[in-house]
Amino acid sequence: MVDSHYYYNSISRHVAKFQIGQVVRHKLFPFRGVIFDVDPQFANTEEWYESIPEEVRPSKDQPFYHLFAENDRTHYIAYVSEQNLIPDDSEVPLSHPDISEWFTMTGQGTYELKKQATN
């Protein structure tokens, strides 16, 4: 079945609002994280998408971000639509254990992708 919202074999017309290494916070749920990858539009499974309650289900036609995420209890990887993210300007360092493999902390308190982590 063809998804009319997906542009097959074309260049995405989306421009990501956030960048790799940026710390962001979810608008609805209490977690924050650092972005380590960006999809120009939804690129997860249909099962994952359908598991989101319909009343908060985001549009597929926007950038989605992979985050090393954390909340008060745990660390995990999150996949979040652009519409559900805001910049996190708290300057509180993240403690996700995978961050040090991918990023170095700069003198300004931001995260810079390590050269060996790029593809």
Q: 10-residue block means of pLDDT along the chain (119 residues)?
A: 56 80 95 96 96 94 97 98 96 93 86 80
Report pTM: 0.85
Long-range contacts of 74-83 (CB under 8 A, 24+ apart): 78/26, 78/31, 78/33, 79/44, 79/48, 80/24, 80/26, 81/42, 82/16, 82/17, 82/18, 83/27, 83/58, 83/59
The residue with tokens 């924050």 is 32
What is the β-pairing status of strands 32-39 and 23-26?
A: antiparallel
The pLDDT of residue 7 is 55
44: DSSP letter: S
